[in-house]
Amino acid sequence: MYKNDIGINAGVIWHLLSHKGALSIREIGELTNYRESFMFLALGYLSRESKIRFFEKKRNVVYRIEPSSHGNLLLKNENIQVFTGYRTVV
């Protein structure tokens, strides 16, 4: 996996959380088909950038968009298309 791929995966997960709301790691995995290690890299990236929050709910860790970052995700490469499962976002 390349460094740029982490950002792409983070963008996909961010858009997914933006559309679906709070999701568990299992739900994110089912919707993206990412390997667990790729999900954790992307979630760590988003967490470090203060784009998501995580909390425990019924003994599961759940992730959601940080309210202050909603609608504010910038991808550095404008030519990258991120597939969210709903539409392609440029």
Predicted TM-score (pTM) of the model is 0.73
pLDDT tens digits, 10-66? 999 999 999 999 999 999 999 999 999 999 999 999 999 999 998 888 888 899 998
C-alpha distances in angstroms, 25 versus 10, 29, 30, 40, 67? Answer: 13, 6, 9, 9, 19
Instruction: Name the token pair of 20.
Output: 């679906």
Q: What is the pLDDT of residue 72?
A: 54
Structural domains of the chain, with CATH: 3-89 (1.10.10.10)
Query: CA–CA separation, 9 vs 36, rounded Å?
Result: 12
